[in-house]
Structure 1
Amino acid sequence: MDAEKLAAEAAARGDKAGEAYWLGVQRLVNEAPPLSPEQVARLQVLIWTDPAPHITAA
């Protein structure tokens, strides 16, 4: 997700509240400290990836 892109889309629709929301999200992300290697390792456990796509019968 790209907060700047979402803010620009909201602005294009004339949605000032949406634009302000996404710009606020982007500001918070920019101010956050980087994750430590331990935090990254813990988060990776939570991210499930499917090594092979499921094929459904037609």
Structure 2
Amino acid sequence: MNAAKLAAEAAERGDKAGEAYWLHVQKVVDQAPPLSPEQVARLRVLLWTEPEDLPAAA
């Protein structure tokens, strides 16, 4: 999910404060400089991934 989608969902609910918040979040993120490869590598370990089904031990 991204900030634009969350802002649109808030607008559909009539939540003006929520919409303004998510639009502000998107603006701040858009202004941020790109991450370096080292930063990406450090953050990658924090991302949740679905556990894989591993074969049972023999």
Identify whether the pair has TM-score above 0.5, normalized to the shorter chain. yes
Aligned length: 54
1:48–1:13 distance in 2 versus 1, CA, 3 Å: closer
Extract unaligned runs of 5+ from structure 2: none
Percent of aligned pairs with the same amino acid: 74
Please report how far the alpha carbon of residue 50 of structure 1 lies from its aligned counterpart in structure 2 after TM superposition.
Answer: 5.0
1:51–1:27 distance in 2 versus 1, CA, 3 Å: same
Extract unaligned runs of 5+ from structure 1: none
Corresponding residue number in structure 2 for 1:36: 36
Corresponding residue number in structure 1 for 2:53: 53
Corresponding residue number in structure 2 for 1:2: 2
* TM-score, with length taken from structure 2: 0.76
State the one-letter code of the partner of 1:41: A
Q: In angstroms, what is the RMSD of aligned CA positions?
A: 1.9
Please report how far the alpha carbon of residue 43 of structure 1 lies from its aligned counterpart in structure 2 after TM superposition.
Answer: 1.2
Listed one character per residue, the Cα deviations across residues 25-51 of structure 1 (whole Å, up to 9, x for unaligned) are: 100110010000111111123335455
Show structure 1 runs of 4+ deviating over 6 A.
none
Corresponding residue number in structure 1 for 2:23: 23
